[in-house]
Structure formats: C-alpha cells, structure tokens
Chain A
C-alpha cells in the first residue's frame, strides 16, 4: 500500500519526481517501528489534485506544519491521512471541540495506585513517536487552549509539561491541522498560531478529479451516471453557497455511500435519501435537496440501470 502510494504520486498525480525521492529519503531516515504500524492510516479514498499534493509534500519535507483550510467536502482529512500513509508515519487524529483544553492535548494528572501519575495526551505521544498529528477542526477550540501548542509547532519543537519534564520532539513529527473557515460557531485562529503553519487553501474538487474518484471507487458505474452524480454534487454545492440549504447535505462521503448501497441492491431514491437527503433533518430543506436529485438521478433507478453487469 505504501509503495503503491509513491507510484500513485509519481505516475498518476505526476508530482515532481524530486518530491517523491524526498519522501523515500524521509522514510529511510525515519524507520517505522513495528508496533506503530497499525497506527499508519489506510484511508479509503485517495486525494486527487497535483498542485495541492506538491505543495503539501514540499512543506512537510521542509519540516513545516500544515494548516489545510477549506469548506466542507474539500478533502482536508483525506489529504492529511494520505500524507501520513505516503510518509509512512503513525497518525494521531485529534478532533477539536469547544471544551478542548491544554490537558486534553498534552496530558493530565491522574490517580493510580495511590499516586498522582501523568497520563500522556495525544500530542505528547505523537511528539515522542515522530508521528503525524492530525488536528481536526482546530478552530473549534478556544485560542487559550491552543497556546500550549505554540512551542510544539515552532522552532523550539519541545513540550514542557509543568511539574514533569521537558520533552524534545522527534525530528519526524509533523502536525497537520484542518479548519473549516466561516462555519457557524468556529472562531478565527489567532496570528501567533497561524504563523506557525504553512497554510494551504483547499480548493473544491474539480469535475475531472471527481470523475476519477468515482471511476476508481466504482469501476462498473456507467459513464452516463458517473457524470450525473458528479453534476449532482456540484449543484448541491452551489445551493449551499447560495445559503438555500445548510452544508449537511453537501457530503461527498455520503454520495459514495449511496453508490455503495445502490450496488448492494437498494433503489437509487432510498439510497440517496440515506446518503445525502436525510442528513438534513428539516422537511423543507429535504424538499429542496430532493428537487435537485430528481433532475439528475430518478428515484426508481436500480443497480442494473446505474452499474454495468
């Protein structure tokens, strides 16, 4: 799988061969410990987008941390996991939320056998193991909670755990943060934190790449419907951008799940309801989504209509 990723990058994505050599050298220099192998992600989907791949790989090879900023369904997490796989590093996926505090990142004291002991948090473990820390939706957390990451992310590359020790980070450690800017409830990252990342503005998947994604994951999907599912995604996206519906139904993963269900014999209407429409819980919004779907994928279509036998 790992070797296949390099082939994919070089031959299919056609990124600069120098960058692929760089990844190989990185891997040689930072061998993966056997017990960490199960921590290397095996993402279901590959990220498509030559330019973004090139920028991300180059930044990581230069020792930078990455901030992937973009709307829903732009593939931020898919890229983060693909990068960990390509570099063969164990990954710690840390989902940020409003109640996140420094101790949930670094670790906290707990009581064990009558003694106060330190229980390491994911950032601490990732730093020690030379892993890739995926800081998911980093802007959901309060800036005060994130201040603890400053020295982890900048040139100091260390963590000072008050009352314990100062841990030097492994040279292979990288942090890849994702953020969905503008989502209701999120906050702006402060300058001090943003300046510690190389920021990539994630573009929406292009029609060509979406077609590739559908083709690779559903090779028997008829060409006519590959195109219609692609158009459906972009029409829903436009509806979200115009604020007529919420982003709940703009779910690429959900659309691929719907195709899975159709392949298993569920009629198109019910499958798309499960994968896309029902994610909006509001009747009115569901009505608007169904209108868009009806003019691309008629509800009564079955596996035979959509897939080659």
Chain B
C-alpha cells in the first residue's frame, strides 16, 4: 500500500513505472522527474523494466550497498546507466517502440543542455555527464564525445552488448565500480560534524532555535512546512497535561476564542442556553462555540495567530493550485460515482403522460378537452433527499497534513455539490475549555466551498462535545435524512478534565477509555435522532478498537490523507443505498 502523498507529476511517473513493470501498487526506490518537474517517460519505463526483469529486491540490494556513501549520487547515476542498457536489451525485442522512446530521450538530453542554468551545470558530476553523453550520442548514431581512456573503458564496461541475468548484472556493476576505484564495497562517509549541547547551554541556545509547538493551551497555528522542518531537525517538545485549568478568566477565554476563530453564529443569550443544555455530564464546565468565521473586533488581540492561520490558508490554496489537474480529476470521478448511485437509488415520482398507466381520474379530459395526457408514468425524483455534514478534526494532531485535508475536504464538498446533495463542512477543535465548531461551508454556499481552504489545525479534540455540537447543527438541515461523516483518529484528547460524577467519582483526564466511551455515547445519541454517522479513520493500529467502539461498522480506514475523498465517496455510496432503502 502506498504510504506517501504524490503530486500529479509523481503519480504519472509512478504509472509509467508500474506499466512497464507489469504490476501496480509497489513504491519504487527511484522516480525520474526532469528539471521542469515533469516525469521522464523513458527513464521511468526503464525503472519499471528493471523491476520486471530483475525484481524490486535487486534494486534495493544494489543501491543499498552504497547508501550513505559520500559519492552516492554519482554511483546511483552510473549504476542506472548500466541498468538502462541491460533493461533495454531485455525488452526491446517484445516492445519495438522502446527504440523510438530511447531515441527521443537521447534527443531530449542534448536539447536540455541549452536550457539548464550555470548552477545546474556546476552541480553535475563530470564523469557521469561524460558517460551519459557517450550513451545518448551512440543511441542517436553519432560519434562519441572525446573521452579519456579511463572514461572510455568505464563506459564500455557499463555497456555490455549481451543481456545478463540478475546476479551477473549486479556482480558486473560492483566489479566495475571496484575496478575503476569508484566504490570498494565499503561505505565512506565524510561525516557531519554534530555538536551536542546540554544543560544550561542547551536552554540558552533553545531560545534562539526554532521549536515545534505541538499541543499547548495557547493556540499555535503552525504550518505544515515548519512542522516538517522541525521534525527533520529532531526538535520534539514534550507534552505535559495540565491538571488544573490554566486560565480562570472566562471572559478573557471567550474573547480569545472569538479573536482566533471569529464571532459566534448565535447571539450571547442563545449561546448560553445551548451551553446550559449541552455542556453537562462529562462536559460540565466546558463551552461550545459555533462560528462561520465572521471577523471579530477581538482579532487584533491575537495578531500572531491570525497571521499564521492566513499563511496556512494561503499554503492550502497554493497546494491545491499546484495539483489542480489531479484534484479536478478526483472531483469528476467522485461526482460520477455519487451521481450514478443517486440515480440508481432515487425515489420515483409520478407525472401525467400520453402513454403508460391509465389514470381514470383524468379520462374525462380526453373526451371533453381532447387532451391525450390521460396516463401516468413514473420518473426518478431529481432531489437526492438527504444532506451530508462533514466534520473535520482540526486539532493539532492534523498539523502535518493540513493542505491535504483542506484539498480533500474541498474535493468532497465540490463532488457532492455537483450532484446537488446539500453539504456542510465543519472543523472542530478544543481550546481553553471551548470546543469550537467552525463552519467552512454552509448548505447555502452555492458557489462552492472555497472557504474550506481556510482550514487550519490547532488545539485538542474533545470528540464527545464536538459530536454533541454537531447534533445541534444537524437540527437545521435542508433534508429530512441526514448523514454525518467524521474525519477522526479515534483518539479523543482534551486538556480540560472530566469533572467528578457518577462514572468517575474523582474525575479523570479526557483521554483514553473514558473519552472513547464518551464519544461512543454521543454517536449512539445521534443515531437515536436518525442521523447516520460514518467515520473516516486515520489513526494508528492501536486505536482501531477505539474507532470500532465509537463508530461501529460504518467506518473506512485510510493510511494517507489523499485517500480521504475516495474513502468518503465509498461511505457516501453505501449510505445512499441504505438511506434510500
């Protein structure tokens, strides 16, 4: 199963590799992408052919031998020259078009010489360039470039004229590298100088170094790139759960939340009534905040947060724009699937017609008015008859995949909108005792859900209260039948503890078993209200039982966020079938 997220060009490159390998789904070690970011069809075909003729294991074994060596890039390039030659000889008999593709690749190699910058030239390894140049000139039927005897012999050894089996090929490449003193078999690393500070030096230096904020009770709208960079640097911040509420000033908290997320959709007295009604039991002392992101005069209080969230929104939009073709394709496919499903399972309505079943009550019209429409016929109702609410977990655990979640949420919303299914997209997170439900797309947004790109991740996730809040929102839907889809890691977790009560006499943390039981109870409550609840689970293996406990069988598991719309589509189709009987 694929575990990475691929761009459109990478996905196309993968398809080229899989096609020539004759097998799909594996993750190759290499992918050929040219300097313009486009897939190189010939070299990708070669990568696939090497896998087909020699097996994926051979590639891993061979390239693994010099992994980490300071000359790794050069050795990789030279080994690919030998593999290209070998794979070509094996395949060309059964695939004559490969000759033409190889020629086109060779022409492109020299055409690019005039296009690359001085920096790119300087980055090229001269030995690799000499060997590649000789290979592609030969392919074009031209004289080889002037080479030193060392280069000439190396070229010949990397270009055997007969095809070899797997072991012969591997041995011949390693022997050649040894013979020309390129790689002795032992990895040589120049070594990075790592200076390790601890004690008070560490605390001084940390102030000047970037740190990754994961969970804190003050909102941090970190953006994905920053988090990844920090992770790569090994910056990890321990999370300490507070046992007491950090800020005891309710008015200050409310202003903070309003400044970060926007004004509440409900007037204060109505909001207070909702709190009184819903923030009970395990959620006593908590608050709910429903917002559509309307700007508030409090926003200047949290200038930094607002700048960060605006930056993330820009990143979300840029990421979508970069892969717009791929995403549009996903929208079209999903729309088609849902549309077909709605058509097949639509309810029938009756209308008057000139043929069909005789409608006795209208027969007089034929005699008196000469109107032949005295029959009735059935036709499928145009309206899908149900609405979909998508609830996205927007807690800090999602920080690494914010752009993908925004894009996938948009794909889902757009596909449903094109099928005329009313759809609302809401994000939820918990902060300073407030569980915030932020509506990115309302049912009335007929022109699409571009505000979904305002998605950003922060804070904790008090799933039980968020589900209660969603239940409140679900009271107001344009269709009688309702479907709620929750994107979740089934790991509810909030800094605000469960207060002492019947189940927990001393109170307990809102996490683990207690939180899972609470979320499961809320899902059951929604089901009682005739809301169908489905989950797209993105968590770890250890959280699978929790997800099953909360959502039962209506659950699809995905390993990467780019599978979100596909999994949601499958759940929606299943629900349509059941909703319409």
Find chain A residues with CB under 8 A from B45 CB: 295
CB of B8 within 8 A of CB of A284, answer yes
B341 contacts the other chain (Cβ, under 8 Å)?
yes
- A122 shortest CB reach to chain B, Å: 15
Q: Which of A142, A228, A242, A288 is B97 in contact with, Cβ under 8 Å?
A: A228
Which A residues lie within 8 Å of B24 (CB)? 238-239, 241-242, 244
Q: Say whether A235 contacts B19, CB under 8 Å.
A: yes
Residue A4, interface by CB 8 Å: no
A163→B97 CA distance, assembly (Å):
66
Counting chain B residues whose Cβ lies within 8 A of the other chain, the interface size class is 35 or more
A102 → B minimal CB distance (Å)? 10
Q: Is A198 an interface residue (CB 8 A)?
A: no
Answer whether residue A10 sits at the interface, using C-beta atoms and an 8 A cutoff.
no
Question: Are B336 and A184 interface neighbours, CB within 8 A?
Answer: yes
Query: Which of A103, A187, A241, A284 has most chain B Cβ within 10 Å?
Result: A284
Q: Which of B329, B372, B380 contacts A99 (CB 8 A)?
A: B380
Q: How far is the CB of A104 from the nearest CB of chain B, in Å?
A: 9
Choose among B18, B97, B98 the residue with the greatest number of A CB atoms under 10 Å from its CB: B97
Stretch of A25-33, A69-77, A108-116, A208-216 on the interface side: A108-116
A101 contacts across to B, CB distance below 8 A: 377-378
- Are the CB atoms of B337 and A116 closer together than 8 Å? no
- CB of A283 closer than 8 Å to a CB of B: yes
Q: B375, A291: Cβ atoms under 8 Å?
A: no
Q: Are B344 and A294 in contact (CB under 8 A)?
A: no
- Complex Cα–Cα for A291 and B332 (A): 21
Decide yes or no whether A186 CB sits under 8 A from chain B. Answer: yes
Contact, CB under 8 Å: A184 / B337: yes
Q: Does B442 make an interface contact (CB < 8 A)?
A: no
**Chain A contacts for B97, CB-based, 8 A:** 228, 294-298
Q: How far is the CA of A294 from the CA of B94 in the complex (A)?
A: 14
B63 within 8 A of A: no
A246: which B residues are within 8 A, CB to CB?
Answer: 333
CA distance A224 to B337 in the complex (A): 39
- Asked whether, in the complex, the Cβ of A184 is within 8 Å of the Cβ of B341, the reply is yes
Partner of B344, one of A140, A283, A297: A140
B379: interface (CB < 8 Å):
yes
Q: Write out, one digit per residue, whether chain B residues 58-99 have a CB within 8 A of any chain A CB (1) or not (0).
A: 000000000000000000000000000000000000111110
B101 touches A294 (CB 8 A): yes
Q: Which residues of B contact A231 (CB under 8 A)?
A: 94-95
Within 8 A of B (CB), among A232-247: 235, 238-239, 241-242, 244, 246
Question: For the complex, what is the distance from the CA of A297 to the CA of B96, rounded to whole Å?
Answer: 9
Residues of B near A110 (CB, < 8 A) are 354-355, 375
Q: How far is the CA of A116 from the CA of B343 in the complex (A)?
A: 32
User: Within 8 Å CB of A241, what residues of B?
Assistant: 24
Q: Say if the beta carbon of B356 comes within 8 Å of chain A.
A: yes
Residue of A nearest to B49 (CB): A295
Q: Contact check, A187 vs B344: say whether CB atoms are below 8 A apart.
A: yes
Q: Does A147 sit at the interface, judged by CB under 8 A?
A: no
A109 surroundings in chain B (CB, below 8 A): 355-358, 375
Give complex CA distance A284, B379 in Å: 35
In angstroms, Cα B330 to Cα A284, docked, is 10
Asked if B15 contacts A98 (CB within 8 A), the reply is: no
Q: Are B332 and A295 in contact (CB under 8 A)?
A: no
Closest to B569 in A: A184
CB <8 Å contact, A295 and B12: no
| CB of B130 within 8 Å of the partner chain | no
Q: Type the 1/0 row for B373-390, where 1 means its CB is closer than 8 Å to any CB of A.
A: 011011110000000000
B268 within 8 A of A: no
Contact (Cβ within 8 A) A244 B380: no
Given A184-B336, A228-B97, A295-B101, 11 further pairs, Cβ under 8 A = A98-B343, A99-B378, A110-B354, A140-B344, A185-B344, A284-B325, A284-B328, A287-B12, A288-B15, A294-B97, A296-B97
Please list the 10 inter-chain residue pairs (A to B) with the smallest Cβ-Cβ separation, ordered nearest first.
Answer: A185-B340, A242-B24, A110-B355, A284-B329, A184-B337, A298-B100, A282-B329, A111-B372, A98-B343, A184-B340
Question: Which B residues contact A (CB, under 8 angstroms)?
Answer: 8, 12, 15-16, 18-20, 22, 24-25, 41, 45, 94-98, 100-101, 325-326, 328-329, 332-333, 336-337, 339-341, 343-346, 354-358, 366, 372, 374-375, 377-380, 573
